[in-house]
Amino acid sequence: MSDRPMSDRVFLRGVELHATHGLLEEEARLGQRFTVDIDWWLDAGDAAAHDNYGETVGYEKVFAVIHEVSSGRRFHILEAFAQTIAETVLARYPRIEKVRVEIHKPSAPIAGIFRDAGVEITRAR
């Protein structure tokens, strides 16, 4: 890595999942749709200067983490789901300095009209 300040952001939007996360038994039985948006910050200067994929963290790697975490266990709350994604990304890819995870649960079991529900967390080294 260079001495440049880290300011580069890579992102992945709209990762769709069908999962059984939630508190209610109905959520465990039927499952529902979740959407994940994720950003990660790293110094991409060397990767860009050398046009070298090996000096960055690619979208497909982070995509795989999201699916792995989601299918690995059932989460009762979105905060735990989001934090586990963030912690896994940071643990697996030391180039990443910070990660932001946003999880949308548009069919949350709320008796009322709403467009979306969710959580956003940011974790850094």
**pLDDT tens track for 7-51:** 899 999 999 999 999 999 999 999 999 999 999 999 999 999 999
What values do phi and psi take at 77, rounded to 5? -125, 150
Mode of pairing for the β-strands spanning 98-104 and 118-124: antiparallel
Distances (CA, A) of 46 to 33, 39, 93, 99, 110: 38, 19, 16, 20, 47
* Exposure on the CB side of residue 74, measured as CA atoms within 13 A: 14
Mean pLDDT on 53-71:
97
Known catalytic residues are 105
Largest CA distance in the chain: 53
Residue 2 lies in a domain: no
* Confidence label for 5 from pLDDT (cuts 50, 70 and 90): low
CATH for 114: 3.30.1130.10
Q: What is the percent of the chain where pLDDT is above 90?
A: 94
pLDDT (0 to 100) of residue 7: 80
pLDDT (0 to 100) of residue 4: 55
Residue 1 lies in a domain: no
Residue 65 lies in a domain: yes
Domain boundaries, position 71? 8-124
Residue 15 lies in a domain: yes
Residue 58 CA to residue 106 CA, distance in Å, equals: 28
Mean pLDDT over each residue of the chain, to the nearest integer: 94
Residue 3 lies in a domain: no
| pLDDT at position 6 over 90 | no
Q: Please give the structure tokens belonging to residue 49.
A: 């200067």
Mean pLDDT on 102-118:
96
Handedness of CA 34, 19, 101, 89 (dihedral sign): negative
Count how many domains the chain has. 1
